[in-house]
Chain A
């Protein structure tokens, strides 16, 4: 399938042609399955099937396709990546809550009854995971840019740089209660923005 054909399918999908959208999504299923598998591997040791994530993401994409504003294949892939990543993050959080297990332990890849499968720990997989993480990081920082400066700084310093609230208060010349308010509003706005981008 050439880029002209993809463009045509995007156009038809925009006009409500579900068959065209389905054809587009199927084109990327293997790619996103691989991406979701790598990402789940780093977070959950494959306790969730990547196929389920992809299926759920494609349903989200179909429901929210009106929000997709691009016209080219690259735009579509970028948009779909965000949808899939969002679902991976949400599944990881949900699973973590259900299992009451430490995410740190999950990230290290330690299983309770054995070692990681050597194929999972392949070089290709780890490169893929790093790429996805870098992209996830890019999305996070881009979305944070939309926050008011003080909120952005408080959120960044606390959650990404590991600063204590007391340190942030001194740095921003605010009270600890003031910093807590910045963090509370900042994370709420950030999460809402990330959810909207992921069509949730």
Chain B
């Protein structure tokens, strides 16, 4: 029977995802070209959440440019 994920586990996973996104955004702010595929490959368990963020991030970047 699979172990039920506790609230602490959920929080830790959320914190890890936020930390990966922070690293990504900060590096981009500094002008670095980031290999998203590499990040996804290094964090397969967080890949789904990261992919969702990358898609949202692209959407917001496009929208931000279009309304300026």
Contact present for B62 and A188 (CB under 8 Å) = no
**Cβ contact within 8 Å between A160 and B67:** yes
The number of chain B residues touching the other chain, given as a range, is 20 to 34
Inter-chain contacts of A97 with B (CB < 8 A) = 58
Selected interface stretch from B2-10, B14-22, B36-44: B14-22
Q: Mark B28-68, 1 if CB is under 8 A from A, else 0.
A: 01100000000000000000000011001111111111111
Q: B60 touches which one: A42, A43, A107, A187 (CB < 8 A)?
A: A187
Q: Is the interface of B mostly helix, strand, loop or mixed?
A: helix
A190–B56 alpha-carbon span in the complex (Å): 9
CB proximity to B under 8 Å, residues A162-194: 164-166, 175-181, 183-184, 187-188, 190-191
A190 contacts across to B, CB distance below 8 A: 60
A180 close to B18 (CB less than 8 A): yes
Q: CA A93 – CA B13 in complex, angstroms?
A: 29
- Say yes or no: is A110 at the interface (Cβ < 8 Å to chain B): no
Q: Cβ of A165: which chain B residues have Cβ within 8 Å of it?
A: 22, 25-26, 29
Which of B19, B59, B64 is close to A191, meaning CB atoms less than 8 Å apart?
A: B59
Identify which of B21, B26, B59, B68 contacts A184 (C-beta below 8 A): B21
A-side binding surface: helix, strand, loop or mixed?
Answer: helix
The minimal Cβ–Cβ distance linking A58 to chain B, given in whole angstroms, is: 23
**Cα-based distance from A57 to B3 in the complex (angstroms):** 45
Question: Distance in Å from the Cβ of B56 to the closest Cβ of chain A?
Answer: 4
Q: Does A50 contact B (CB under 8 A)?
A: no
A78 within 8 A of B: no
Specify which chain A residues have a CB less than 8 angstroms from the CB of B56 in the assembled complex: 184, 187-188, 191
> Interface on B for A, CB 8 Å cutoff?
14-15, 17-19, 21-22, 25-26, 29-30, 52-53, 56-68
